[in-house]
């Protein structure tokens, strides 16, 4: 008697084939889902990568990119160490100053300084540019405001302004030059280390920290520092004129509070950036022109600076002069 439903109990080979096809079908569906999930994951990863690049490359001062539509007081901030590899570099500060002076809506410029100093070259370039811009735009007043610290190269920059303002507790001054080095001769002798240096040129190992102090080299170095110091003094006298009190301590490298600095003629009066904008320049609307480097640029510049610093240290040439 024949089976009324031949598909109810298929032979073993047919069941195996059907099960296999079913498993293959489910496997294919599962693989498609997995591939779709991986596709979504990689698309998301790529999107995140693009967003990261945009964030790194995007300028920090995007909010100030649009020029002010009304008259304003322009502010350029000098923050931190004044060096070619920092935001307070001559390149960044000069670019911001030129943009501020060029804007037809600018009625006055405030250079706000919070810096302990840094490179004499960088500070000197900013000083010269402020003097040049004052001649090019004689109707635009430019004042300096000392924040927490306005010392050394920071004060050098401030001296280029028409007037200098400070808080009572601001630290002002430090008109001097300093270079740091070190000596390892005694330590080398105790450790039994022999120094081997090969040079071409009698003074190529000038101030080598691994050899005893040479009085002639120290004399030559002191002459260099004195010359740079005189440049600093001349710039301050040119900027401040007769307002400076006849006090030899002014150029000794000492620092004073903002309140004490008024009595010495280093500062004209006490006041903040807001006070200068509203009461001195007469325009309370403030637009910040400070140039901020992009995160990506900081990363690359920092890497280059670290490599350069490591190279200088390896060569024993990292004793650079600084306004201090």
Phi, psi of 102 (to 5 degrees): -70, -30
Q: Catalytic: 204?
A: yes
Q: Catalytic: 245?
A: no
- Residue 310 CA to residue 156 CA, distance in Å, equals 29
CB 157 within 8 A of CB 144: yes
Phi, psi of 233 (to 5 degrees): -60, -45
Spot the catalytic one: 204, 245, 284, 313.
Answer: 204
Q: In terms of DSSP H, where are the helices of 137-265?
A: 153-158, 185-191, 215-240, 258-264
CB 99 within 8 A of CB 138: no
Closest CA to 283 of 160, 134, 103: 103
- DSSP SS3 for 233: helix
Distances (CA, A) of 40 to 29, 31, 34, 37: 17, 14, 10, 5
- Residue 274 CA to residue 286 CA, distance in Å, equals 8
- Residue 311 CA to residue 316 CA, distance in Å, equals 9
Closest CA to 212 of 187, 183, 189: 183
3-state secondary structure 236-295: HHHHHHHHCCCCHHHHCCCEEEHHHHHHHCCCCEECCHHHHHHHHHCCCCEEECCCCCCH
Spot the catalytic one: 152, 170, 174, 261.
Answer: 152
**Residue 308 token pair:** 């350069």
> Would you please indicate which residues are annotated as catalytic (active-site) residues?
152, 204
């Amino acid at each position: 008697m024949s089976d009324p439903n031949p598909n109810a109990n298929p032979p073993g080979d047919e069941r195996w084939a059907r099960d296999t096809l079913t498993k293959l079908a489910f496997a294919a569906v599962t693989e498609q889902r997995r591939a779709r999930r991986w596709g979504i994951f990689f698309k998301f990863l790529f999107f995140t990568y693009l967003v990261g690049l945009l964030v790194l490359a995007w300028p920090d001062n995007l909010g100030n990119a649009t020029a002010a539509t009304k008259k304003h007081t322009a502010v350029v901030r000098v923050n931190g160490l004044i060096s070619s590899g920092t935001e307070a570099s001559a390149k960044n500060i000069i670019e911001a100053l030129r943009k501020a002076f060029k804007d037809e809506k600018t009625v006055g410029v405030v250079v706000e300084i919070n810096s302990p100093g840094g490179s004499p070259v960088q500070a000197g370039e900013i000083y010269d540019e402020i003097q040049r811009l004052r001649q090019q735009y004689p109707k635009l007043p430019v004042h300096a405001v000392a924040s927490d610290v306005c010392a050394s190269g920071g004060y050098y920059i401030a001296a280029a302004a028409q007037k200098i303002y400070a808080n009572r507790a601001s630290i002002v001054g430090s008109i001097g030059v300093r270079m740091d080095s070190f000596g390892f001769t005694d330590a080398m002798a105790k450790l039994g280390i022999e120094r081997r240096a090969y040079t071409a040129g009698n003074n190529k190992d000038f101030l080598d920290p691994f050899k005893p102090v040479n009085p002639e080299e120290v004399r030559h170095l002191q002459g260099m520092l004195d010359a740079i110091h005189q440049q600093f003094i001349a710039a301050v006298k040119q900027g401040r004129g007769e307002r400076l009190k006849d006090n030899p301590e002014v150029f000794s490298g000492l620092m004073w509070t903002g309140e004490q600095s008024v009595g010495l003629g280093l500062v004209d009066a006490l006041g903040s950036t807001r006070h200068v904008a509203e009461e001195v320049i007469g325009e309370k609307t403030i637009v910040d022109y400070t140039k901020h480097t992009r995160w990506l640029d900081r990363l690359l510049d920092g890497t280059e600076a670290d490599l350069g610093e490591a190279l200088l240290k390896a060569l024993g040439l990292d004793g650079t002069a600084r306004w201090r």
